[in-house]
Amino acid sequence: MTNQNRIDFARTAPKVYRAQRAFEDAAGEGLDPELGELVRIRASQLNGCAYCLHMHVNDARKAGADEDRLHMVSVWREAARFFTERELAALELTEAVTRVSERGVPDEVYARAAEQFEPAELASLLALILSINTWNRIAIATAKIPGTDERTA
């Protein structure tokens, strides 16, 4: 099925779309933009969302992300030297929250993130992870085509 057979979520549910945009905008407050893009990239990889992955890799480049780091996001555990301890904790938490149905969010994962982020930052990080997971589901459910109408950073 192509996207021509699916709704345009922004046009069909504008109030909900605007609410999600507002949530996304608030979620990233206080976080480094590059870290936010790494989180969005990892969640999009896990969810298989090509539309969001394409968008956020481009946004990460605009935020100054190094190409080597972008290539290593999917294998961050094996390529830990490319990331800070803070980024590693954020990526681990991203995986746990994105895959929450598999084993919840383990205490040790949450504790590592809490060591790296102040409470307000941790709340922002969690909100950002929740937001990108929602965007991934919207894009996949409505069959958004990568590289077509993505917003710019």
- Which CATH number is 21's domain given? 1.20.1290.10
| Residue 129: domain span | 14-141
9 domain-assigned: no
Residue 146 to residue 44: CA distance in whole angstroms: 12
149 domain-assigned: no
pLDDT confidence of residue 86: 98
Structure tokens at 114: 């809490």
pLDDT confidence of residue 148: 82
Structure tokens at 52: 């969001």
Provide the whole-model pTM.
0.93
* pLDDT tens for the chain, residues 1 to 153: 455 678 999 999 999 999 999 999 999 899 999 999 999 999 999 999 999 999 999 999 998 999 999 999 999 999 999 999 999 999 999 999 999 999 999 999 999 999 999 999 999 999 999 999 999 999 999 999 998 876 643
DSSP assignments along 86-130, one per residue: HHHHHHHHHHHHHTHHHH---HHHHHHHHHHS-HHHHHHHHHHHH
pLDDT confidence of residue 151: 60
74 domain-assigned: yes
Residue with tokens 């307000």: 120
Helices 119-141 and 50-62 cross at an angle (nearest 10°) of: 130
3 domain-assigned: no
Number of domains in the chain: 1
Structure tokens at 146: 């990568």
146 domain-assigned: no
